[in-house]
Structures are given as C-alpha cells and as structure tokens.
Amino acid sequence: MIKNFIVRTLLLLVVVVAPAQAATIIPAPPQIAARAYMVMDADTGKVIMSDREHERFPPASLTKMMTSYILEAELSKGNVSKTDLVPVSVKAWRAPGSRMFIKEGTQVLLSDLMKGIIIQSGNDASVAVAEYIAGSEAAFADLMNQHATRLGMENTQFMNATGLPAEDHFSSAYDMALLARSIINDYPEHYGVYSEKYFTYNKIRQPNRNKLLWRDNSVDGLKTGHTDAAGYCLVASAKRDGMRLITVVMGTNSEEARAQESQKLLAYAFRYFRTHKLYDANQVLETTKVWAGETDQLKLGLTEALAITIPRGQSEQLQAVLDLDKVIKAPVNKGQQFGSVKVMLNNEVVAEAPVVALESVNEAGLLQRIWDAIALFFYNLIN
C-alpha cells in the first residue's frame, strides 16, 4: 500500500551568532604528513576531511582506547568499582613497553589502573584490567572485538589489550574516530581522565604523552600510540564555542609530527566549519489530526536532537522539509514513526531523521470511531 504524505517546509532553528554575510570561501585542506588521517565532528559524526581513513594499519597504543572504553562500560553498569583491588599477575608485571610499574603479587586500585592506562599508557595496567574483567587477555580481546562490531568499526580487529605488535591486529583512522566519539558521548562522567597531564604511581611521576594538552587549552583528550610498525599516532579531541572535533593521525614520523599534524587538522576544521543544532530531542515539530482516537490531536517530533556540520556562512541556505503520513489513525504508540524530516543544502539532503509520535493515543469508543470513519471517507474523497 502506497502511503500518502503531507509535505511542509519547517523553520530551521539555527542560531546565528554573527551578522549575515556572504558564504565563506574555503581553501583546500592542508597537506598532512601521515599515512592516514581524518577530522570528525563528535556530535554529528560528519567527516570534515580525511585520507585513507578506512585503510587498515597497526594502531599501537590507540588500542588502549578500547581497553579503557570497556572499563568505563563495566564501571557504568556497576559490574566493577573504582575501589576494587585488582591482583597483578606475572604476565601483567612482565608486560614490555610503556609501563605503570605495578608489581606482581600486589593489588592495585582499579581507579589507579584506569589512570595508568589512559595517562601513562601502561601495558602492565592494560593486561591487569583485561584479566580482571574477562579472566584472560585473550578473552578480553574477544570482548573488544564484540564492542568494535557493535560500534561499527568495520576495519578493526584486536588481538590484545595493549596494542603491542601482533599479527592480524589492526584498525583504521575512521574506526578510531568512532571509538573516540563513543568514549566522549557514551561515558562523559569518565572522560575527564583523558585530560589529566600527569599521574604518579609507586613514586614515579609520568606525563601524558599527548603534547596538545599543554599547547591548546581546548584539547582535552584522548590517546597517543607508537611502535616501529605503526609510527607515531594520535587521537585528539577539542571543544571550541560548543563545537567538538575529533582528529586522528596514524603513521607520522615523530612525537612532534603527530602533534603538529593534529594541530593543522583542528585549525582548519574549526576555522572553516560550524556545527548547528537544529532541533532538540522531543521538540514538537508538528501537531496533526489523529482519527478515531480518544483525542484528535497528535504531537510529532524527534526522539534525538538533530544537528549538522556545514561550511561556515551557509546556514541561511538550509531548508527543512517535513514529510508526514497524510492520515494517522488511533491507536498510536509513543515512538511510532509517521514520516521524516529532511534538511537540504543546495538541493542536497545533508541530514534526515524519523518523525515519531511524542505521545500515545488510545482508540476512541465505538460511536466516535464510526463518526470518524464517515468523516474520513469524505475527507479522502475530497482530497
């Protein structure tokens, strides 16, 4: 059965913070010295610029972002607590590479291990947490891959919790941005750890390896990585004027290069792009007729906020079109879809979201249903 639609143009709720002006002329993106890179808006998921973002490369210690993400998930579910004392195994104690310097046979607060993973990039801390949550690092790697699949990380496979070199251990710049976005949006109560510059454990003070935390006050995370195979990698996030960006560089040639190339990406994207929040979650977009219901009016809107990322200076060219079912009959369940809203820019769809019932409407009594059936017959005949 073909649905009939009512098409309406909506007023876009774009807040303009500066006087109207001609559209910004955007220069070509800067040249980035990395094997792969990208910039993503954390709110909309819009990819602003990228290169080789879906190709698979060794992620080195960017892997630990998934380790910390799973830890944050387990904390939020109440399965573990920051005050838990985690036993340190021989395997964790002997983990090579960057270390938190925990000792075999001791017990360490889970909150300290969390900081050891995120701030100090401790391989020993990562193994200890993996064993505590899943029983073994191999079982934890399986859990990591399940989460990667759930998050849509199609070019990622984890073989360990640390990022130490392993066959068939890989990820992509796009997948790392997806993971960073999930860390920021899913568990914001834990995100503050990623901005801490130092952590001291066992009387050893170590700095966060993300140099941008010292150079740019808007940067508040996330993670560095380095192995000979991976090169120098960095996933960073910054927030300016309500807009949050995520940058990823993989395979740069030095610690300084990964910081500089990330700065280039942030400078370009913040200068020439802007995120606009168009509609709030549960905002009423339309109040429409509902037939055969206990009430004859139905409020329609969005279940989630709708925002878009576009070049600066183009907000006045946006147009929203609301496509709704022509006839809506009770009963209606809250959340039931009755159309969509499409946001257009230069005759192209730049965003689309389902329009749903914001409330339930029960079916009316028999007499009202009969009356509405007669009225609907003539309504359809006329229209």
> Measured between alpha carbons, how far is 56 from 42 in angstroms, rounded to an integer?
22
Cβ-contact 230, 249 below 8 angstroms = no
Cβ neighbours of residue 170 under 8 Å, at least 6 residues apart?
56, 57, 58, 59, 155, 156, 157
Kindly state whether residues 224 and 329 are assigned to the same domain. Answer: no
> Measured between alpha carbons, how far is 97 from 61 in angstroms, rounded to an integer?
10
pLDDT for position 377: 72
Kindly state whether residues 357 and 226 are assigned to the same domain. Answer: no
Q: For residue 316, what are the domain limits? A: 5-17+280-382
89-113 burial, b for 16+ CB within 10 Å, e for fewer?
Answer: beebbebebbbbebeeeeebebebb
Cβ-contact 283, 353 below 8 angstroms = no
Cβ-contact 207, 195 below 8 angstroms = no
Kindly state whether residues 118 and 244 are assigned to the same domain. Answer: yes
Cβ neighbours of residue 155 under 8 Å, at least 6 residues apart?
54, 55, 56, 170, 171, 172, 174, 175
> Measured between alpha carbons, how far is 166 from 146 in angstroms, rounded to an integer?
19
pLDDT for position 96: 96
CB atoms within 10 A of CB 206: 18
Kindly state whether residues 162 and 124 are assigned to the same domain. Answer: yes
pTM: 0.86
Nearest CA to 153 among 181, 130, 125?
181
Kindly state whether residues 290 and 238 are assigned to the same domain. Answer: no
Kindly state whether residues 244 and 261 are assigned to the same domain. Answer: yes
User: 142: domain CATH number?
Assistant: 3.40.710.10
DSSP run (H or E) holding 373: helix 366-382
Kindly state whether residues 332 and 210 are assigned to the same domain. Answer: no
User: Active-site residue numbers?
Assistant: 61, 64, 121
pLDDT for position 2: 38
Residue 24 lies in a domain: no
- The number of folded domains in the chain is 2
pLDDT for position 241: 93
Nearest CA to 295 among 344, 368, 201, 221?
368
Nearest CA to 368 among 379, 360, 376, 359?
376
Asked which of 273, 304, 330 is the last residue of a domain, the reply is: 273
User: 327: domain CATH number?
Assistant: 2.60.410.10
pLDDT for position 26: 83
pLDDT for position 16: 38
Digits of tens for pLDDT over the chain (383 positions)? 334 555 566 656 543 333 444 455 788 899 999 999 999 999 999 999 999 999 999 999 999 999 999 999 999 999 999 999 999 999 999 999 999 999 999 999 999 999 999 999 999 999 999 999 999 999 999 999 999 999 999 999 999 999 999 999 999 999 999 999 999 999 999 999 999 999 999 999 999 999 999 999 999 999 999 999 999 999 999 999 999 999 999 999 999 999 999 999 999 999 999 999 899 999 999 999 887 888 888 999 999 989 999 999 888 889 999 999 888 888 999 999 999 999 999 888 989 999 999 999 898 777 777 776 776 676 776 77
For residue 87, what are the β-bridge partners? 107
How many residues are there in the chain? 383
